[in-house]
Chains A and B, each alone.
Chain A
Amino acid sequence: MKNSWKIILLLSLVIIMALFAGGLSNNPRDIPSPLVNKPASNFTAPVLNSQETISLADHKGKWVLVNFWGSWCVSCVAEHPYLMQLAKIAEKRDDFMIIGVDFRDTIEGANTFLKRHGNPGYKHAFDPKQKIAIDWGVYGAPESYLVDPTGMIKLKHTGPLYFGWFEKVALPQIQGKTNGSN
């Protein structure tokens, strides 16, 4: 084997391995949303377990976390304890609130879920025909969007929110320390 071939062979090995090492920290579920930094599509929908309706536009002036979930979604169970905690954080702040969107679901299913895993207390828009979910480009659950006070989507999180997410990711946005997507 010629020396040049040896070098090419070993060098390409190094490059490929470096690529994999870098690739390990990628999150395959993290697909950038074209909606980030675009105005959020407004929705008005019935509130789960209530006669009233909820509209995103009514909450301009606050940071709104729109959390898409469904009782059929296994990862939503994993996410739920954090949402319970986040709901308490939201209650204490006047610049931040949460709206759940329960999509592709039945009322009974949703209620069983909330009974079994706890009710965080904020309002859920009920979206059985997944109209909101389609408008927002949701392709899985759970998925969460952070909407700023002017109604712009600031970031999208695919998969369960994790403990410490608010402080690490949302708060810098709210305090204006970062701009752009995460």
Chain B
Amino acid sequence: MWIEIAHFSALLAIVLTILQIVSSLYGVTSNNNAWIRVGRHSAIVVALLLTVSTVGLINSFLNHDFSVLYVAKHASLDLPIFYLATAMWGGHEGSLLLWAWLLSVYIGVAAWRHWKTHPVSMPYVLAILGALLLGFLLLVLFLSSPFERLIPPPFDGKDLNPLLQDPGMVFHPPFLYMGYVGFAIPYAFAMAALITGKADEEWLVATRRWTLFSWSMLTTGIVFGAYWAYYELGWGGYWAWDPVENASFMPWLTATAFLHSVMVQEQRQMFKTWNVFLVTTTFALAILGTFLVRSGVLSSVHSFASDPGRGVYILGFMTVLLFFSFGLLTMKSEQLETDIKLENPLSKESAFLFNNLFLLIATLTVLLGTLYPLAVETWSDSKVSVGAPYYNAVFIPIMLGILFMMGIGPVISWRKATFKQLKRDLMIPLLASIVAGFVSFAIGLHNFYGVCTVIVMAFVMFTHILDTRRKVLARMKTSGAGSAFRAFNQLISRNKRRYGGFIVHFGILVMAAGFIGSGLFQEEKNLFMSPKDQIRVGSWNLTLDSVGKASKYNWQAVEAVIKADNDRGFSVELRPQKRVYNETSQPTTEAAIHTTWFEDIYVVLGDQVKENVWSIRVYRNPLIVWVWAGAGIMALGVMFALMQGRIRKEKKQ
């Protein structure tokens, strides 16, 4: 019953989406506002209808309705309710519905919020977004429907893939999709600006918050994925340069470039073509990410659901999208030309230019590494895989460049910076960073890139702190704000966007520290242990107490009990497991992890080698929690920056 309501809502949504496209376009060509209004209302109704579809599917999961094929494939009676409610995106069909639903909600919100402010672009925005949504809905309903029945229903379902039964995986897809899908709105506004010929700042103002929001969601989504890999896959790491990870990282890089280069357009009316190019590329790469996961062209850990038939459809969809967007951009690029040229290589404009260049080179690096195996396989018989060595060799220097620009960008002035200013702003940070480099070498960091990273990090840290300090002092003088605290408070609340950016930069530094710690100082021990055996890792003594059985919900496991004592007398019990899930009989490793701010102790239980002997892997991962914390700080920074737009707008009205 529920599933039929869901199905019919989705079908109706298709019809209304077509109406949305046609009536918006008709309205704009016939200059009849009523028709555009029809398009707008359709968009809002479509969002409601797809909400019903999504709720209907989730409800079928909650009711254990195994007469729905998708539910029977991805759930079971024993599946805990937390995973039951989120199993909706545990498979291909449901995750595409999630995509379409999120897109429809975004479209609804855009149609509602930007109606008054962007009357010229609105019909085109509605039509372009409607076409995108139509593309996805056709895929959902006719090539991979989650609404199909399975008659007669089985007594129990096949259960959710055990690897996906992890909190990281519950949040990873929705956040990632919220990011991917969110870029559709800036993209549509950019396209509308090209079509209407009003490619000025209007579309940037409309999309600033969308871009920031999507960027933060994408960041969070990527980090949730890394978190999942770390907790669930049991290999002690969190990022493997897997093609699908790369696919989510590429739009992040171009979106980051976009976030910075829009500032140049806002302030100096430069980089107009470039910005349209970046936003289009970002969205195209987001679609590419979906394509790579869903079509099965690449082998990766994400090959959970792939089907070449759907691949053909998504490929066709992407081809239309890409040639439409980039074709439009090349045809209409003349209207974006400006006479404004870079005045001086020592200026904020040029700092942003270099920031963008580095980010784009980074994107190309990842793109090449991702596509190269595919090219080799397609045009010859052999297989290759491009892994960490390539990326570490190429990517780390680029990242250092980006980090360095991060230190300069915020403090250098527009148009023309003088050497005097630069000396004032950068002298102390440069000296401090050299000191930091020596200190880090002295305390045991002997890796070339590690030391370089510390130097650049200290540089960024000091430019940010000194800049803030200087501004606080200036404010204390001019406005008579009195205490430094009040001056600081005024400063950041009047310019939330800038200081939100500072917070994000700080988050990146925290994350970089995590990368250095976990990347360069990881200790790994592989050994055979019997009960009462001891092993020392870092400042910890691990003792294997016993190996027994455990079971809960839908799994049974062999569980080791390991006592970990550190030198300061702190003691904790670790219980790594090898689980077998009842329905799928697929074994998974559940690493036991003890997290502190300083390090993680990470234990994986391997196979039983012989009577009373087990193979056990122990990792000490220093500073790994800083990676997650850094991501959290970045998200907070974006939220802070987002608050500004609203306040400013209210003042204007």
Contact = CB atoms under 8 A, between A and B. Distances in A.
Given A13-B326, A28-B306, A19 B315 contact: no
B369 to A, nearest CB: 14
Contact of B330 (A10, A20, A21, A26): A10
A166 interface: no
A20 B326 contact: no
A74 B375 CA distance: 31
B473 interface: no
A22 interface: yes
B582 to A, nearest CB: 12
A176 interface: no
B142 interface: no
Contact of B375 (A9, A13, A19, A21): A19
A26 B378 contact: yes
A22 B379 contact: yes
Contacts of B298: 23, 28
Interface residues of A, number: 21
Interface stretch (B316-324, B342-350, B389-397): B316-324
B641 to A, nearest CB: 30
Contacts of A19: 371, 374-375, 378
A29 B375 CA distance: 16
B381 A20 contact: no
Nearest to B298: A28
B603 to A, nearest CB: 24
The bracket for how many chain B residues form the interface is 35 or more
B363 to A, nearest CB: 13
Given A13-B322, A24-B308, A28-B296, A1 B330 contact: yes
A1 B312 contact: no
A17 B322 contact: yes
B330 A28 contact: no
Nearest to B333: A1
Interface centre among B312, B315, B378, by most A CB within 10 Å? Answer: B378
Contacts of A13: 322-323, 326
A24 B333 contact: no
Nearest to B296: A28
Interface in A64-81: 72, 74
B315 A21 contact: yes
Contacts of B311: 24
B291 A20 contact: yes
Given A28-B303, A74-B584, A17 B319 contact: yes
Contacts of B323: 10, 13
B200 to A, nearest CB: 17
Contacts of A20: 291, 295, 297, 315, 318, 374
Interface string B297-340: 11110010010100110010011001100110110010010000
Interface string A81-102: 0000000000000000000000
Contacts of A72: 585-586
Contact of B377 (A9, A26, A29, A74): A26
Nearest to A18: B378
A116 interface: no
A22 B376 CA distance: 11
B552 interface: no
A57 interface: no
Contacts of B319: 17
B327 A10 contact: yes
Interface in A1-27: 1, 6, 9-10, 13, 16-17, 19-26
A21 B379 CA distance: 12
A1 B336 CA distance: 9
Interface centre among A1, A20, A21 (most CB of B within 10 A): A20
Given A13-B326, A23-B297, A72-B585, 14 more contacts: A1-B329, A10-B326, A10-B327, A13-B323, A19-B374, A19-B375, A20-B291, A22-B378, A23-B298, A24-B311, A28-B296, A28-B298, A32-B382, A72-B586
Interface of A: 1, 6, 9-10, 13, 16-17, 19-26, 28-29, 31-32, 72, 74
22 contacts: A1-B273, A1-B330, A6-B330, A9-B326, A17-B318, A19-B374, A19-B375, A20-B295, A20-B297, A20-B315, A22-B378, A23-B377, A24-B295, A24-B311, A24-B315, A26-B297, A26-B378, A28-B298, A28-B300, A29-B299, A31-B383, A72-B586
Q: Which 5 A-B pairs have the closest CB atoms?
A: A28-B299, A22-B378, A1-B333, A23-B297, A6-B330
